[in-house]
Amino acid sequence: MQRTLPEDQGRVQHGPPPPPPGLPVLPELAEALADAADLTRVDPPGGGTEIRDAAAAHWHRRSLPVEAHEVVAAPGAPPLLFALMAAIGGDVLLPRPCPAWWAPQVRLLGGARAAYHVPTPAECGGVPDPYALLETVRRVRAEGGAPRLLVLSVPDDPTATVAPPEVVHQVCEAALAEGLFVVSDETWRDTLHRPTRTPVHRPAPRPSHRPPHHGTTGRTVLSPRPGPGTPTGPTGPGTPPLPGPVFLSAAEMFPDHVVVLSDLAGALVPTTWRVAVARLPDTAYGSALRARVLDALAALGATVPAPLAAAATYALGDPEPVVTRARAAAALHARVQHAVLHEVLAAGALARPPTAGRHLYADLDPLRDGLAARGVSDSMELEEYLSGRLGTPVPGGHRFGDPLSALRVRISTAPLLGATPEERMESLSAEEPLELPHLEQALNHLGTALAELG
């Protein structure tokens, strides 16, 4: 899984290539950062009062009650998840596939800790199949392991799908019954395609739930799913599915046992502005966990620079310019994602219809013969071949926990939007972005590269 950086700075063993250039910085965000550029104070580990208050209000408007003392901020999701893993302890269960940076975090913690991947259900990524989760937990314990934490990605990177609420409920119910704690990465929440839920501007009451069982005596019985799933499927090239995904946070279902993690760089601020926030449970365990997380962040020196914290505080306030940009970007990426899906399916490959995010996770196994003729037999070789053929990084499925033999890749939509800031802004503002010459050319280039494998 090594790669060489373009700058020839040596070998990198973990993680995908750096993110592609996104849309130009929103002027109001740039102004907020510039206004705070002369701040010299150092915010404490976990974030200052302003950013934590703003994050709490941000979640309140999304029907997730939280107080500022339950919020922790850090310079990006990786150090924040690392601190959470260190504070919770034990082995970690991850869906397969999952974000490329999760498993390396567990390996960096060292000791007896291990990451175990659990297959996802057919309808979505981001969450493990609940029955496969139960079997994995029992197998790990039988082999002497100590599973303590389940990490979810709803909406998901890399599959760009949104797990239906009933699936999330079953998975969390199974995890809590087996004594696991849950971290729900909701970074891509504001990228849903035509979301059917609107923010509620008043806090909802906290539901009461029984604590999880600690131990494995008897068989865990899953309750019936509480509601129907949301059908998805492409309605045509470049057209997102209707009616769109329904998102419900795991913390709304089980507030006392779920940490919500969100990297603002996913949808609200530029990808290079690394600021993340987490909501911890308002319980005795949550308070103790927060203290351990703050200790870990302090030891890492993982504090948010004051100017960046000021810009993030502005974004978390959901001002009109940020909300408008986020919605426009989500709509643009949705159209491009489904255009990419059309090219993938036309070539004979497979992919789940995307319902969020800015990627498409494609399975090129049906094109195995054509790839073999080009010397490609696994996902590492597929990554190298497609990255060279398309002229942009196309990370292979092995980076996301899938088997090396599986011919899967994550295709990002950002590089298709244009080679310059001007082209990317034109893509954002166009009524028919797929008809722009640069975007049409990029999609044709992708389609040709895939079609020649058939």
Q: DSSP string covering 19-76, please?
A: PPP-SPPPHHHHHHHHHTTT---BPPTB--HHHHHHHHHHHHTTT----GGGEEEESS
pTM, whole model, 2 decimals? 0.86
pLDDT tens digits, 353-374: 999 999 999 999 999 999 999 9
pLDDT tens digits, 206-225: 333 333 433 333 444 454 44
Q: Which of 129-133, 241-245, 348-352, 403-407 has the lowest mean pLDDT?
A: 241-245
Handedness of CA 368, 369, 372, 374 (dihedral sign): negative
Amino acid sitting at position 357:
G
Mean of all residue pLDDT scores within the chain: 87
Whole-number pLDDT of residue 15: 56
The C-alpha atoms of residue 237 and residue 51 are separated, in whole angstroms, by: 41
User: Average pLDDT for residues 57-68, to the nearest whole number?
Assistant: 94
Q: How many CB atoms lie within 10 A of CB 328?
A: 13
Task: Output the CA torsion 50→56→61→65 (10° steps).
Answer: -160
The residues pairing with 359 across neighbouring beta strands, listed in sequence order, are 412
Whole-number pLDDT of residue 43: 86
Residue 227: pLDDT over 80? no
Strands (DSSP E) along 264-323, which ranges? 276-279
User: Average pLDDT for residues 163-188, to the nearest whole number?
Assistant: 97
pLDDT tens digits, 12-43: 455 556 667 789 999 999 999 999 999 988 88
User: Average pLDDT for residues 255-278, to the nearest whole number?
Assistant: 94
pLDDT tens digits, 346-357: 999 999 999 999
C-beta of residue 331 within 8 angstroms of C-beta of residue 238: no
The C-alpha atoms of residue 404 and residue 303 are separated, in whole angstroms, by: 36
pLDDT above 90 covers what percent of the chain? 80
